[in-house]
Amino acid sequence: MMIENQKRLRLAPEVTGESDFFDGLPDDLVVCILCKLSSTARSPSDFINVLSTCKRLNGLALHRLVLSKASPKSLAVKAKNWCETAHRFIKRCVDAGNVEATFILGMSRGNGASLMAKAAMNSHASALYSLAVIQFNGSGGSKNDKDLRAGVALCARAAYLGHIDALRELGHCLQDGYGVRQNIAEGRRFLVQANARELATVISSTSSSRSSCPWLTWHPNHRHAPGSGCPLLSDFGCNVPPPEAHPANKFLVEWFSLPGGGVPAQGLRLCSHSGCGRPETRRHEFRRCSVCGAVNYCSRACQALDWKLRHKLECSPMEQWPDEELVEIDGDGDRAMAEDGNGVIIVQS
């Protein structure tokens, strides 16, 4: 018994002086703990605060394995806090192989299509959908650079991975015969699937009981109020909260709303959906509402969601178009978007 006690004493870490139990932990174990922290961090501060704790944690927290596991929320730097240090940190995450960081940095750059393509090759659903939007609009080039079939193919891949906006976009493309052979029944099936996934996402993100979710209760005389959420199931008296935007889209929205942020060039517009933030790369790139002409959208998915969120209550026919925009009034003048009383998008040639 005495021999065993002596062995335990020799194996125990020194607790005198400046040493503690943390010094006795091997680096591999600390890196494993930091990987768990970075992958579950709910804000950049949850992870960045570790860097200022001590020199050892500062070095191990920047390990490639730790950076490769960083969650999207840990990379969600606010536009007002953007600086060279934040850029270098996200760039280190990209170099470590973090797919989310690759997509976020690609979205925040005007010429980030190559980074988005890199993320898409790793089956990143949001990157695939963003590239589809680029193909649909011919972003970065002229309207002749549009590749509708490529956009549909990218949308189909993102939809297969469960991307809700891609499901919605693909459904509208099938209904309209836009870049794919028209199939109204299949298009409606994709739209129903997008709504079902959106509802499932909201429910799964709600950890409280059903009694604390008033939008799950049926109200026969319910009428949707502006700004109170997304009336995904408004016909049934439910008011589902709007889906949370991706950190990359949040950054774009915040960036262009900053004083002096503006748009990339004069005459270019942003997507009117409040959760998107995508800017035009040429004049009249985005399609405009053919009824009021006051809003424009980068995609049918953004148009459908913004219609539910607010535009349904604001849209009213415009008596006369502004003279300076008579040439191309509907996004390169090819196809206009409207919506009927049942919430079905009508694409007019």
Measure the CA–CA gap between 24 and 130, rounded to whole angstroms: 47
Tell me, what's the pLDDT at 65?
A: 93
Domain of residue 262 covers: 247-313
Asked if 272 and 297 count as a contact pair (C-beta separation under 8 A), the reply is yes
User: What is the percent of the chain with per-residue pLDDT over 90, rounded to a whole number?
Assistant: 32
Domain count, the chain: 1
Tell me, what's the pLDDT at 95?
A: 94
Residue 287 lies in a domain: yes
Measure the CA–CA gap between 273 and 276, rounded to whole angstroms: 6
* 51 — pLDDT class (breaks 50, 70, 90): confident
User: What is the percent of the chain with per-residue pLDDT over 70, rounded to a whole number?
Assistant: 72
Model pLDDT for residues 252-263, shown as the tens digit of each residue: 988 888 886 656
Tell me, what's the pLDDT at 7?
A: 40
Ranking 7-11, 105-109, 132-136 by mean pLDDT, the lowest is 7-11
Measure the CA–CA gap between 334 and 285, rounded to whole angstroms: 10
Residue 278 lies in a domain: yes
Tell me, what's the pLDDT at 326?
A: 33
pTM: 0.78
Tell me, what's the pLDDT at 239?
A: 59
Mean pLDDT of 24-39: 90
Tell me, what's the pLDDT at 333?
A: 43
Which position has the higher pLDDT, 31 or 20?
A: 31
Residue 118 lies in a domain: no
**CA separation, residue 11 to residues 16, 25, 147 (Å):** 15, 12, 67
User: Is residue 317's pLDDT more than 90?
Assistant: no
Model pLDDT for residues 159-212, shown as the tens digit of each residue: 999 999 999 999 999 999 999 999 999 999 998 898 888 888 777 766 544 445
HSE of 282, CA atoms in CB hemisphere, 13 A? 15
Residue 265 lies in a domain: yes
Tell me, what's the pLDDT at 222?
A: 47
Ranking 100-114, 168-182, 281-295, 305-319 by mean pLDDT, the lowest is 305-319
Mean pLDDT of 56-80: 90
Model pLDDT for residues 3-29, shown as the tens digit of each residue: 444 444 334 444 445 556 777 888 899
| 185 token code pair | 């029944």
Tell me, what's the pLDDT at 310?
A: 84
Mean pLDDT of the chain: 78
Residue 299 lies in a domain: yes
Contacts 24+ apart (CB under 8 A), 260-269: 261/79, 264/110, 269/296
| 277 token code pair | 């933030």
In 3D space, the residue among 47, 155, 167, 39 whose CA is nearest the CA of residue 99 turns out to be: 39
Tell me, what's the pLDDT at 167?
A: 93
Model pLDDT for residues 234-277, shown as the tens digit of each residue: 444 455 666 788 889 999 988 888 886 656 677 888 899 988 98
Model pLDDT for residues 295-312, shown as the tens digit of each residue: 999 998 888 888 888 888
Residue 344 lies in a domain: no
Residue 78 lies in a domain: no
Tell me, what's the pLDDT at 212?
A: 54
Asked if 127 and 106 count as a contact pair (C-beta separation under 8 A), the reply is yes
User: Is residue 217's pLDDT more than 70?
Assistant: no
Mean pLDDT of 44-62: 86
Residue 196 lies in a domain: no
User: Is residue 64's pLDDT more than 90?
Assistant: yes
Alpha-carbon 122 to chain mean position:
17
